[in-house]
Structure 1
Amino acid sequence: MKAKHAGSPSNKAPFWLRWLVPTVLILTWLTLAGIGGPTFGRLEEVSSNDQASFLPASAEATAAQDWQAKFRDADEVPAVIVIESPERFAPPQLREAAALKTELEGLELGSAVIGPIPSEDGEAVQFIVPISESLELEEAVQELRDTTSAGTPEGMQSYVTGPAGLAADLTGAFAGIDGLLLLVALAAVLVILLIVYRSILLPVMVLLTSVFALCAAILLVFGMAKAGWIQLNGQSQGILSILVIGAATDYALLYVARFREALTHTTDRTAAALTAWRASFEPILASGATVIIALLCLLFSDLNSNKALGPVAAAGILCALFAALTLLPALMALSGRAAFWPFRPKLLPDDEREPELVTGLEGQKGLWRATGSLVRRRPRTVWVASVLLLLVASAGVFQLKANGVPQTDVILSASTAVDGQDALARHFDAGSGSPAVVVADEGKAREVLEAVKAADGVGDAYLLAEGSVPITGAPGTPSAPDVRDGKVLINATLDAAADSLEAEEAVKALRADVRAEDPGALVGGVTAIALDTNTTAQRDLVIIIPIVLVVILFILMLLLRSVIAPVLLVLSVVLSYAAALGVAAFVFNNILGFPGADATVPLFGFVFLVALGVDYNIFLMSRVREESLKHGTRPGILRGLGVTGGVITSAGVVLAATFAALGVIPIMFLVQLAFIVAFGVLLDTVLVRSLLVPALAYDIGPTIWWPGKLAREGLRHPREPFSNGETGTPASFADAGEIR
C-alpha cells in the first residue's frame, strides 16, 4: 500500500489555521501600512539636520552654545550675503548695494541686518542676516536669495551662504530621501527578485513584505520622535528606509527557500508554511536580534546623532523581523505553489527527499557543487588564500582619512551656499559670518580679548555689547560689554573658512591660548561644533566596536552551542570589514577624489557590516549545524553550503543593491557609507561566507563545535570524510587525530 504524503486529506490542518490566522495577519499588516504609509511624508515634521543638536551635553561647544543663548533674546541662524563685482565698487554701486539693506530688513526674518560691509579690495560687500529659528529655514533662505538677486547691481554676482545657506542646501540635498531613494531601492530589489525567482507573484509578495515593514517602522519612528524619545535627522531617515527594505528582503529570501524546500515534501501549503517557519525561525530571530542589539550599542555613543540612529534603525529591523515571520508566512500559506508560478516546485519521490550523504555533495549540481568540491579537495589552501587576499585589501585602511570634511564638501551637488563660501574667502576673512565665540569671565575680559587677537589663525576679535553689537572703539559704539552671570562674549573671525580643517586647528590653538588667561573660558561656534563632533565620533569608534563584538559573539555562542565557531566567525567578519575599508580608502582617495571622510563613517560601516555580515554566517552555520546533526560535520558543511548558497548570495546582492541606492543622495557621508556597506556585503557573501568560512570549518572538522556535543560526534559518523576527502572507520579517525 502506498504511504500517504504529508498533507493528504486526513492530515489537513484545521480551517482556522489554514484560512483564519493568515487572513487576520494580512489584514493587520494592511492596517499598519494604511496608517504608516501616509506618515512617511510627515517625517520632516520631527526631523532636524542641525549639526549643533548632534553634540553631547559634555562637549565644550555645547556649553558655549548654552552661554550664547543667555546673551540673545531669540534663537537665530546667520545667513551671509556676498555681492561680488569683477572690479572695484563705484560710489553709485555702493549706494545701490546699501539700499538692499532696507529690503532685507523688510523681510522681517530676525534681528537687525548688519552691513553692507565692504571688502579691503573693494570688489565685494557682505551682509549678515539673522534668521529666526521659528521660521522655515529653506523658505527663508529662498526668500533671501530672491530678494538679493533682484537687488544686485547689474553685472555682479550675489550669493546667500553662511550657516543658514549651507543648512538650507543640505536639507534640499536630503529631499530625495522621501521619493527617489525609496524608488531606486525598490526597483533594484524587484529586478533582482525577478531574476532569482523567475516568477511574477513571489517577488511582489516579498516586496510587499519589505514595504509593509517599512510603513510599520515609519509609524513607530514617527511616534518615538514626536514623543521626544529620539532625535531624527536626514541621515537616519535615509538609512532606515534602506535597512528595512534590505533586511526584510533578506529574511524573506531565507523563509521562501525553506518554504520551497518544504513544498517538495508535502502537498499541504499550510503544513509547508509551518515547516518553513519552524526551520527559519531560529536563524531569522538570531540574525535580527544580532543586528538590533548591535545597533542599540550606539546608545553608548557620546554623539547624539549616533544615539539617534541606534533606536531608529533597531525599530526598523524589529519591524522587518516581524513582517518576515508573520506577513510573509501568511501570504505563502494562502498562495502555496501558485506563488512560484510558472516554475512551481514539484513533489519529490520519497527516496529523493533525504539523500544519504557520504561527502555532502550528493544531489548538488552547478556552481555550488563546484564550490563544495573545491572546499573538500583543498580546504586549507582555500581559507589561507582567502585570508591573505583580505589582509592585502586591509592594508589600505591606514589611508582612510576619516577625520571629518568641511561642510562645503559634504554636499556633492551644485550649491549656491558652497559657491558663496568660495566668494567670501576670496574677499574677506574666510570665517566672516561664522565667528568663533569665546565665553570669558568678566574680570578677565580684556586679557582674554588680547589673547584672542594674538592667536594664530584669528583675523579679528571684539567684545560684544548688548544686542550683539561689536565694541570696536569707533565713534558711536558702546563702551561697555554685555555681562550675563559674570560672563562676556568675544567674537573671533577666523582667517580660514569656518567649516575647514584649518579653522578646526585654529580653534584648538585658541582654546589653549584663552585658558592660559582664564582657565574657565569656553570656545564655541560653528567650527568648534564641527571639531567636537569629529573628536567625539572618533572616541565612539574605540568604545562601541568592542561592545558590539562581545554582544555578537555571545549571540553566536547561544545559537551554535559552541565557542570556537563563533570566535572564528566574528574574526572573519572583522577581517572582511577591514578589507572593505581598505578598498574604500583607495576608491575615495584615488578614484572619486574625496578630500576625506566623515568621522562617523567607519563606525556606521562597522555596525552595519559586522552585524549584517554575521547574518549570512548565521544563515550558513545554523543550516550546517542542522545538517551536521544528521550526517556529520564535514558532510554537513558541504550540504549546508550547497543548499544555502543560492539564497544567501541572492540576499547579499539584494542588500548590496539597496545600500548602493544611498549613492543617489548627493551627500558625501551617504555615498561613502553606501560604497563601504555594498562592497563589504558582496565581499562577505562571495568570499567569506562561500569560501573562507566553509573551508576553515571543513579543515578543523568536528572540533569547530567545541565544547558542544557535536565536537564529540565523530564516532557516530564512521563514513565522515577527512579534510583530504577520504573516508574511514572510527579507528582510522582516532589514528588520524580526528577524534581527540
Structure 2
Amino acid sequence: MTERFIRGLARAKWVVLIGWLAIAVASMLALPDLAAIVRETEQKFIPADSDSVVAKQLMERINPETTTKSSAILVYSREGGLTEQDRDWLKGKAEELGKLSGKDGFKSVQSAYETPELAEKFRSKDGTTELLIVGFARADNDVLTQEAVDTLASKVKGAPSGSKVELTGSAPIGKDFQSSSEEGLKKTELLTVILVLVILLIVFRSPVAPLIPLITIGISLVITRGLVAAATEFGMPVSSFTQSFLIAVLFGAGTDYCILLIQRFREELNRDGDKVEALVRTMRTVGKTVAFSASTVFVAFFLIGFAQFGLYQSAVGVSIGVAVTLIAGLTLTPALLMVFGKATFWPSKVADGQGHGESKLWGAMASLAARRPVAILLVAVLLLAPITLLYQGKRSFDDLAEINPEYGSVQGFRQVERSFGAGEVFPLSVAISSADSMRSPDALAALETASANVAKLEGVKEVRSAVRPLGEQLADLTVSSQLTQTSDALQQMKDGVDQVSGGLLSADSSITSGQADIRKLTGGLRTMADKTSEAQQGLKQIYGGMQQASEGAGRIAGGLKESAAVSDSMDVDLQALLKKYPELAKEAAMQQLLGKQQGLAGGLMELSSGANQLSASFEQLNPGIGKAADGLGQLADGQKQAADGTAKLEGGMQQLSVGLKDGAKGLGDISKGLASVKEAQQAIGASQIPGWNLPQAALDSPELQQALDYYISEDGKTAKLDVVLAVNPYSPEALTTVDQIRESLMHSFEGSAMEGARVYASGTSAQILELKDISKSDFTRTGTFVLIGIFIVLMILLRSILAPLYVLLSLGFNFLVTMGIVEFIFVDLLGKEGLSWSASFFVFLIIVALGVDYSIFLMARFKEEYRPRGITYAMTKAMTTTGGVIISAAVIMGGTFAALMLSGVNTLLQIGAGIVIGLILYATVFMGLVIPALANLFGEANWWPFGKPAAAAEQTGSGSDSEGSRILEQAAD
C-alpha cells in the first residue's frame, strides 16, 4: 500500500468508518436475507441430470393431479394398543384434513378410513400405531410446504389422553433439519463471539482493543451475507454450511489479520507516539503479509466454485467473505486505530522498548531439525503413518443424525421404525421409461416378473406396482391359480361327461326294450293286413253271392268282432309306442298309419252294428259292402305300409343303439383324458413354477384399470414401482439394495416385452447413493483444483517449485492423520456408523486453506532470513521469530472452529473437531519439525528452479515480509 493512500486513510478515518457502517446498513435493508434463502434451498444439491431427479420428473407424468412432491406422516401411537376413542379421533382428523386438499399446499390425505382396503398398510400388527399420510403439492423446502406442516401440527393437537402424536416424513424432517441448523448457527455465532472476545482480552489485556476486530469482522459478516444472498440470484448455491463457515473463517482468519495489524501498530506507536506515522509504518510492513495470507484462503474457497457438486460449491461464498474482510482489514481497521489511538490499549500504557522476542522452544526444535532432519522425518512417518490407516473413509448419510433426537420428526420416525419398519417412511420409487406402451398383457406380465424378482431381494420388504397395487401378487392372474381353477372346471366337466355317458347307456337300454315292442307292432300290423285281405275277399264273395249273404252275416259279424279286437290291440300298441317315443308322432308314415287306424276302428264299429241288420236290409247294404270291400283293400295296403315303416324304425333304432354305445365309449375316453389333464395341472401347481397370465377380460376390469392409472401413464410409456425396504433407508445395506434393485429390473426386462426399458430410482436411499458417488468424485476433482491454486500462490511468493511441493505434501499427510484420529474417535470409540459424508471434504478444504497460512508465515520469513550463512541459520531464525505467531494463529483459528462443536449439529461437530485437531497438529508437529527438517534436508534445492534469493538487507523495520509475519508472536508470550 502506498504511503499517500495510508495517510489519506488516516485523515478520512471518520468517513471510512461511516462509509462502512452505511454499506452494512444498506446491505441489511436492500440485499436479500441469506438465512431465508438457505431455508428454502435444497440441501443435497442433486444434479439435474441425476437418476433421482429424472425419476421424479417421469413420475409426475403418470398422474400429475395426484402426484405429491413431499409428504408428512402423522404417527399416532399408544402403549398397549389403540382404543376405539383413538380411532374415532383419527377418523375425524382424516376427514378434517381431507377438506384441506387443494388448499394452502395440501394435496391429498391417505388413511385407513379413506381406503379401507389398505387398512393393514396404515395400522401396525401389534395394534399400537396407526399412520395418516398427508401429501403436499410442493417440495419439502418450499415456504408453502413448511407453512402447511405448521398448519398440520396445529390441527393434530388435543389427541386423547395417553396417546402420542408425532409428525415425520420428508417435509417435517426437512423442517426440523433447518430448525436444528438455525439453532446451531445461532449458538455458534454467540460462542464464536464470546470465544474470540476472551482470546482478544487475554492477548491485548484491554477491553478496547478487542472491539476493533469485532467491529471489523461484524461489519464484514453483515455485508458478506447480503452479497452472498444477492449472488444466489446469479446461480451461486448456498447451504447451512455457507453460514457456519462464514462465521468460523471470518472470525478466525479475520481475527488473525487484525491482531497482526494491532500488534504491529502498538509496536510502531512505541517509537514516537505519532499514531499517523505508526499506521504508515504498520500498513507498509504488514499489508503484504496479510494480503498473501488472505489470498491463499480466497483462492482455495474461490476454486470450490468449480466443483460440480452444489453442496461443495456452496462454500464459495466464503471467498466473498474473505475478500470483504481483507478490504475491511486494510481500510476499516486502520480507520478504527486512528479513531481510538493510544486508547486502543487502555488501561495498559504504550511503553517504549516493547517488541517481539524469540521463542526458546521453537529455537530448540529448529536446532533438532537442523541436526537430525532424516531421523525426524523417519520418526514422524513411523509414528503418524499408522494413524492414517485408521481412516477407512466410512461415511454416514443419515440426515436424522443431524437433528436433535428430541425433535418430533425423529421420534415419529423411530416409532414407525419400531412398529412398521424404517422403509415405510421413505420407500424407494422406481420410474420405468419404455418406447412402447406398458398397458399390454405382455408388458404387464414382464412387469409382474420384474416385481416378483425384486420382492425376492433380501433388503426388500414389499413391491407395489400396477400388477401388485397392494404389494402382493394378484393370485387370480397367476398361472398356478388359473391352473387350479381350470382343473376344478375340468373336474366338473368330467363329472358332467360321466353323467351324460350314463344317460346314454340308460337310453340304449330303453331303445333295446322299445325295439321288442316295435317288432310286436310290426307282427300285429302284418296280421291285421292279412286278416283285412281275407275280409276283403269275404266281402267280394258277399258281393258276388248275394244269396249267401244272409247265411254269412253271422260269420261276418264274428269276423268283424275279431277285427275290432285286433284293431283295439293295435291301437293300444301304437299309443304305447308313441308315449314311449313321442318323436315317432312326427313321422309322416306314422301319422298316416294313425289316420287309417282310426278309420278302421270306425268302420269295424259300423260293420259290427250293421251286421245284425244285414239280413233285414241286404238291398241297402249291397252298395255299402262294395265300398267296404274297397276300403278293406286300402286298409290292407296301409297296414302293410305301416308294417314296413315300423320295420324301418326298428332298424333305425338299432343304429341309434350302436351310436349311443359308441358315444358312451367316447365320453368315457374324454373323462379319462380330463382326469389326466387335471393330474398334470396339479403336478404343475405342486412344482410352484412361476407364471402369470393376464386375460383380456381381466385387463379391462375396473379394478385393474384403476391400478394402471395410478402406476402407469396414460400413454403407457412411463410406469413406477414403489419398493418398501426391509432395512433403514439411510444404512449402507439400503444403498447396496438400490443397486441390486436396478440390476434385477434390467435383468428381468431382458428378452421380454419391456426389453430396452430404462430404469431410474428416486427416494432417500437412491439420493444417498448418488450423493456417495458424486461427492466422492468431486472431492478428488475439487481438491486437486485447490492444491494447484495454492501451489501457484506459494510458488509466486517463494519463487520455488520444490518448497511449495513439500508444503502441500505435508498438508495432505496432515489431513490423512487428522481424519484417522477423527474417524477413530467418532466411529471406533463413539460407535458412529461413519463420519458425516461431507465432513472429510470440508475438513480438507479448511485445513489446507488455513493451514497454509502458517507455512506462509514460516517460509516467507525463511526466505527473508536466507543469508550466506546458509539454510540452517535462515530456518532457525524463521522458527524462533514466527513460532509464536503460528501458535497464536492456530489457537485463534482453532477456537473459532471449536465453537462449531457446540452447535448441536453432528456434521459441524465432526468438522469442528477435525479442524481443531488438524490445525493444532499442523502448527506444532509439521511446522515445528517436519517442514524445517525438509528445508534443511533439501538445502539449496529449496529454491529450485529459480535459484537462490538475493541477500536481504538488515532488518530496519522498512517493509520486509518478516516484519509483518512476526507480529503475532507477542500474542504467544
Q: TM-score range by the shorter chain?
A: 0.7 to 0.9
Counterpart pick for 1:128 among 124, 130, 133: 133
What residue is the counterpart of 1:664 in the other structure?
Answer: 902
Distance 2:309 2:764 in 1: 16
Report the TM-score when normalising by structure 2: 0.65
Greater displacement, 448-457 / 381-390: 381-390
What residue is the counterpart of 1:292 in the other structure?
Answer: 298
Contact 1:77 1:164 in 2 (8 A): yes
Contact 2:177 2:403 in 1 (8 A): yes
Contact 2:16 2:332 in 1 (8 A): yes
Contact 1:294 1:551 in 2 (8 A): yes
1:218-297 to 2 correspondences below 5 Å: 218-225=225-232, 227-265=233-271, 267-297=273-303
Counterpart pick for 2:779 among 516, 533, 541: 541
Counterpart pick for 2:838 among 572, 583, 600: 600
Shift of 1:370: 4.7
Q: Which amino acid aligns with 1:79?
A: A
**Does residue 480 in structure 1 map to residue 696 in structure 2?**
no
Shift of 1:424: 1.1
| Other structure's SS at 2:836 match | coil
Counterpart pick for 1:320 among 322, 325, 336: 325
Q: Could you list the per-position Cα deviations for residues 237-267 of structure 1 after superposition, in whole angstroms to 9, with x for gaps in the alignment?
A: 2222212111211222233344344445554
Counterpart pick for 2:721 among 459, 465, 490: 490
Distance 2:353 2:869 in 1: 20
Shift of 1:509: 1.0
What residue is the counterpart of 2:58 in the other structure?
Answer: 67
What residue is the counterpart of 2:959 in the other structure?
Answer: none
**Number of residue pairs matched?**
687
Call closer, same or farther: CA 1:113–1:340 in 2, change over 3 Å: same
Q: Which has the higher helix share?
A: 2
**Does residue 409 in structure 1 map to residue 401 in structure 2?**
yes
Shift of 1:363: 6.0
Contact 2:866 2:951 in 1 (8 A): no
1:336-735 to 2 correspondences below 5 Å: 336-348=341-353, 364=358, 366-375=360-369, 380-398=374-392, 400-402=393-395, 404-440=396-432, 441=434, 442-443=437-438, 444=443, 446-455=445-454, 456=457, 457-463=459-465, 478-481=706-709, 482-483=712-713, 486-516=717-747, 517=749, 518-628=756-866, 633-710=871-948
| Other structure's SS at 2:111 match | strand
Distance 2:804 2:777 in 1: 27
What residue is the counterpart of 1:113 in the other structure?
Answer: 109
Q: Could you list the per-position Cα deviations for residues 147-169 of structure 1 after superposition, in whole angstroms to 9, with x for gaps in the alignment?
A: 33423x44332221111221121
| Other structure's SS at 1:78 match | strand
Call closer, same or farther: CA 1:218–1:254 in 2, change over 3 Å: same
What residue is the counterpart of 2:675 in the other structure?
Answer: none
Distance 1:621 1:215 in 2: 34
Call closer, same or farther: CA 1:21–1:564 in 2, change over 3 Å: farther
Distance 1:584 1:556 in 2: 28
Q: Which amino acid aligns with 2:891?
A: V
Q: Which has the higher contact order (CA 8 A, sep 6+)?
A: 2
Call closer, same or farther: CA 1:37–1:99 in 2, change over 3 Å: same
Shift of 1:63: 1.2
Distance 2:81 2:190 in 1: 50
Q: Could you list the per-position Cα deviations for residues 550-589 of structure 1 after superposition, in whole angstroms to 9, with x for gaps in the alignment?
A: 2211211111011221112111111111111111011112
Distance 1:327 1:14 in 2: 13
Shift of 1:329: 2.4
Contact 1:387 1:692 in 2 (8 A): no
Distance 2:925 2:787 in 1: 21
Contact 2:10 2:334 in 1 (8 A): no
What residue is the counterpart of 2:572 in the other structure?
Answer: none
Contact 2:97 2:109 in 1 (8 A): yes
Shift of 1:686: 2.1
Distance 2:881 2:225 in 1: 35
1:71-90 to 2 correspondences below 5 Å: 71-73=63-65, 76-90=69-83
Shift of 1:307: 1.8
| Other structure's SS at 1:29 match | helix
Shift of 1:673: 0.7
| Other structure's SS at 1:488 match | strand
Flag structure 1 segments of 5+ consecutive residues without an equivalent. 1-11, 354-361, 718-740
**Does residue 197 in structure 1 map to residue 199 in structure 2?**
no
Distance 1:313 1:39 in 2: 21
| Other structure's SS at 1:121 match | coil
| Other structure's SS at 2:80 match | coil
Q: Which amino acid aligns with 2:93?
A: L
Shift of 1:75: 5.6
Call closer, same or farther: CA 1:21–1:326 in 2, change over 3 Å: same
What residue is the counterpart of 2:22 in the other structure?
Answer: 31
**Does residue 140 in structure 1 map to residue 148 in structure 2?**
yes
What residue is the counterpart of 1:99 in the other structure?
Answer: 92
Greater displacement, 383-392 / 23-32: 383-392
Call closer, same or farther: CA 1:479–1:195 in 2, change over 3 Å: closer
Distance 1:52 1:179 in 2: 19
Contact 1:498 1:527 in 2 (8 A): yes
Distance 1:317 1:629 in 2: 35
Contact 1:452 1:461 in 2 (8 A): yes
Call closer, same or farther: CA 1:497–1:677 in 2, change over 3 Å: same
Structure of larger gyration radius: 2
Report the TM-score when normalising by structure 1: 0.85
Distance 2:901 2:919 in 1: 16
Q: In percent, how many aligned pairs have the same letter?
A: 26
Distance 2:472 2:387 in 1: 57
Contact 1:407 1:500 in 2 (8 A): no
Call closer, same or farther: CA 1:269–1:420 in 2, change over 3 Å: same
Q: C-alpha root-mean-square deviation of aligned residues, in Å?
A: 3.3
| Other structure's SS at 2:424 match | coil
Q: Could you list the per-position Cα deviations for residues 702-726 of structure 1 after superposition, in whole angstroms to 9, with x for gaps in the alignment?
A: 4322334436869x99xxxxxxxxx
**Does residue 169 in structure 1 map to residue 181 in structure 2?**
no
Contact 1:394 1:578 in 2 (8 A): yes
What residue is the counterpart of 1:184 in the other structure?
Answer: 191
Shift of 1:315: 1.2
| Other structure's SS at 1:396 match | coil
Shift of 1:699: 4.6
Call closer, same or farther: CA 1:14–1:674 in 2, change over 3 Å: closer
| Other structure's SS at 1:130 match | strand
Call closer, same or farther: CA 1:211–1:569 in 2, change over 3 Å: same
Call closer, same or farther: CA 1:138–1:269 in 2, change over 3 Å: same
Contact 1:452 1:492 in 2 (8 A): no
Counterpart pick for 1:157 among 159, 164, 188: 164
